[in-house]
């Protein structure tokens, strides 16, 4: 009995520390690979608690290995847009300017009834009032309502981050690399000065300087 108590206490403390090191997220905000890691950690921690014949180290080592993998993948995600898309996927626009994209609904395996239910949860009743409804990579629905004054609303798009210029996003926004360079010149900036840059909700160029250059 005492052995089980000690094992449970040790594993509980280990799991709490590991989950804390993985980062602060609510369960509903976990990305797919983070959810997989969390479930596996739970299973690995339960085995040594249920069977005293199993060495405690048999649960500890795999849990620490998963922690290492999760931290490594998180770092890779931050630095690589390609890996971010592979591991997390991309946000999906389900409604744009009041029109439901039924093809995207099918790809996400969502019914129209489920979409309307999610909208009601967000306090939206009329689809025509919605500028964008986006199915995020963590399985949550983001809703952006139309502007009351009728002005167009743009989704903010990151075009530069940590030394990488996203040319495909520039092209999708009908912008060019020359346009980006002009924005830098107009703001007396160099690429090395930037932490990130984006096209904001009004279609304008926004940026943040690196802290050591501010």
Which carries the bigger pLDDT value, residue 22 or residue 119?
119
| 56-73: average pLDDT | 88
Domain parsing of the chain, residue ranges: 1-87, 92-145, 157-209
* Confidence (pLDDT) at 96: 92
Q: Do domains 92-145 and 157-209 have the same CATH topology?
A: yes
In which band, very low, low, confident or very high, does the pLDDT at 162 lie, cut at 50, 70 and 90?
A: confident
CATH of domain 92-145: 3.30.240.20
For residue 75, pLDDT over 50 is answered with: yes
In which band, very low, low, confident or very high, does the pLDDT at 181 lie, cut at 50, 70 and 90?
A: very high
Could you read off the pLDDT of 81-117 as tens digits, one per residue?
788 778 778 889 999 999 999 999 999 899 999 999 9
| 138-159: average pLDDT | 82
* Confidence (pLDDT) at 214: 42
Could you read off the pLDDT of 128-137 as tens digits, one per residue?
999 999 998 8
In which band, very low, low, confident or very high, does the pLDDT at 140 lie, cut at 50, 70 and 90?
A: confident
SS (H, E, C) the chain: CHHHHHHHHHHHHHHHHHHHHHCCCCHHHCCHHHHHHHHHHHHHHHHHHHCCCCCCHHHHHHHHHHHHHHHHHHHHHHHCHHHHHHHHCCCEEEEECCEECHHHHHHCCCCHHHHHHHHHHCCCCCHHHEEEEEECCCCCEEEEECCCCCCCCCCCEEEEECCEECHHHHHHCCCCHHHHHHHHHHCCCCHHHEEEEEECCCCCEEEEECHHHC
In which band, very low, low, confident or very high, does the pLDDT at 213 lie, cut at 50, 70 and 90?
A: very low
pTM: 0.63
Could you read off the pLDDT of 30-39 as tens digits, one per residue?
677 777 888 8
For residue 54, pLDDT over 80 is answered with: yes
Q: Which CATH class is domain 157-209?
A: alpha beta
């Amino acid at each position: 009995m005492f052995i089980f108590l000690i094992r449970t206490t040790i594993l509980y403390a280990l799991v709490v520390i590991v989950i804390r090191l993985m980062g602060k997220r609510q369960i509903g905000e976990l990305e797919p690979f983070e959810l997989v890691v969390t479930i596996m950690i739970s299973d690995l921690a339960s085995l040594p608690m249920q069977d005293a014949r199993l060495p405690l180290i048999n649960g500890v080592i795999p849990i620490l290995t998963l922690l290492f993998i999760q931290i490594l993948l998180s770092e890779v995600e931050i630095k690589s847009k390609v890996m971010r898309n592979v591991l997390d996927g991309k946000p999906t626009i389900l409604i744009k300017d009041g029109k439901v994209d039924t093809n995207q609904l099918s790809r996400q395996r969502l019914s129209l009834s489920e979409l309307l239910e999610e909208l009601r949860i967000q306090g939206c009743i009329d689809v025509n009032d919605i500028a964008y409804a986006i199915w995020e990579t963590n399985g949550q629905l983001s809703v952006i309502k139309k502007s009351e004054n009728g002005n167009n609303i743009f989704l903010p798009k990151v075009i530069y981050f940590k030394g990488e210029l996203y040319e495909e996003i520039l092209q999708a926004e009908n912008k060019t690399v020359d346009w980006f360079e002009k924005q830098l010149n107009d703001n007396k900036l160099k690429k090395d000065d930037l932490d990130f840059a984006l096209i904001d909700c009004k279609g304008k160029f926004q940026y943040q300087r690196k802290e050591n250059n501010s």
